[in-house]
């Protein structure tokens, strides 16, 4: 009989997670290269069948308090708007499917945020001071007065000093948000040929958070939450009255 409670609860958890995604997107709306989070909608069927499996086991009731990460978070890979900054180390990628790569030596993060600068050792770094991956490892540049060509070659006073290596995730759909504008590709990455790279110097890609989408999602999730809490309330009332009536007998 508590099924209705659990179904309504799943819906409430779902809207809570959607709210969290919206709040992350809104807070990061001005973060360069940010990709908005989406809570992947589960079909009602899969939610219910999950419920059945769980209900069959004796620990069902307790495990229904769904953990926040149970619903997969996906990232929206729509490109953001490009704005020109005129700074030569502000880079944007024209092709939708390629990414810059940042690494701390053990792991590779993909990002579209090309707001690069030199650190104190002259190494080209991106977000959180993580080194940018070049064709030959870290990119050590003699100065910040460089030009970057469309295929990612970096030239300092007429001399080629390195080249950016762009990557593409093997499976775009499985990309996960790591932190800030950084993304992780659990399926691995493959390098993009320099001839296919389309880097634009002096340009930055904005966050792809879209105010109207977020507002719509806010409206729908708050109504969903409201109606589900009504369901819970009326069901609770119904149960209460049933128990009362049974007591009268």
Residues that bind other proteins (CB under 8 A): 12, 15-16, 19-20, 22-24, 26-32, 86-87, 104, 107, 109, 113, 115, 117-120, 122, 127-130, 142-145, 157, 178-182, 184, 211, 214-215, 218, 221-222, 225-226, 229, 232-233, 236
For other proteins, the closer of residues 53 and 211 by Cβ is: 211
Closest approach, Cβ 194 to other proteins, in A, equals 25
Closest approach, Cβ 48 to other proteins, in A, equals 22
Distance from CA of residue 218 to its chain's centroid? Answer: 18
For other proteins, the closer of residues 52 and 142 by Cβ is: 142
- Whole-angstrom Cα distance, residue 44 to residue 47? 5
For other proteins, the closer of residues 3 and 145 by Cβ is: 145
Closest approach, Cβ 56 to other proteins, in A, equals 28
Residue with tokens 């919206």: 22
- Whole-angstrom Cα distance, residue 93 to residue 100? 8
For other proteins, the closer of residues 59 and 158 by Cβ is: 158
Going by the DSSP 8-state scheme, the letter that residue 54 receives in this structure is: H
Closest approach, Cβ 143 to other proteins, in A, equals 4
Distance from CA of residue 3 to its chain's centroid? Answer: 33
- Whole-angstrom Cα distance, residue 128 to residue 111? 12
For other proteins, the closer of residues 86 and 249 by Cβ is: 86
3-state secondary structure of 68: helix
- Whole-angstrom Cα distance, residue 9 to residue 15? 10
* Residue 158 half-sphere exposure toward CB, CA atoms < 13 A: 0
3-state secondary structure of 161: strand
Closest approach, Cβ 183 to other proteins, in A, equals 11
Closest approach, Cβ 57 to other proteins, in A, equals 27
Phi/psi at 221 (5° precision): -75, -30
For other proteins, the closer of residues 181 and 208 by Cβ is: 181
Q: Is 230 exposed, middle or buried (0-12, 13-18, 19+ CB in 10 A)?
A: exposed
Token pair of 55 as six digits: 């209900």
For other proteins, the closer of residues 49 and 233 by Cβ is: 233
Closest approach, Cβ 209 to other proteins, in A, equals 8
């Amino acid at each position: 009989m508590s099924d209705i409670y659990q179904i309504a609860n799943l819906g409430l958890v779902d809207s809570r997670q959607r709210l969290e995604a919206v709040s992350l997107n809104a807070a990061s709306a001005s973060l360069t290269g940010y990709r908005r989070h989406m809570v992947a909608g589960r079909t009602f069927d899969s939610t219910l069948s999950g419920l059945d499996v769980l209900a069959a086991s004796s620990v069902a009731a307790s495990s229904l308090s769904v953990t926040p990460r149970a619903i997969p978070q996906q990232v929206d890979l729509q490109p953001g708007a490009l704005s020109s900054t005129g700074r030569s180390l502000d880079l944007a990628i024209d092709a939708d499917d390629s990414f810059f790569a940042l690494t701390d030596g053990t792991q590779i993060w993909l990002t579209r945020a090309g707001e690069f600068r030199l650190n104190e050792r002259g190494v080209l770094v991106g977000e959180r001071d993580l080194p940018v991956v070049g064709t030959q490892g870290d990119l050590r540049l003699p100065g910040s007065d460089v030009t970057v060509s469309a295929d990612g070659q970096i030239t300092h006073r007429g001399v080629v000093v390195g080249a950016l290596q762009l990557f593409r995730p093997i499976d775009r759909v499985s990309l996960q948000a790591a932190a800030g504008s950084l993304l992780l590709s659990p399926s691995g990455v493959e390098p993009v040929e320099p001839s296919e790279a389309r880097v634009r110097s002096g340009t930055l890609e904005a966050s792809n958070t879209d105010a109207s989408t977020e507002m719509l999602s806010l409206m729908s999730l708050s109504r969903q939450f409201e109606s589900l809490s009504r369901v819970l309330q009326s069901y609770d009332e119904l149960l209460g009255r049933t128990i009362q009536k049974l007591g009268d007998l």
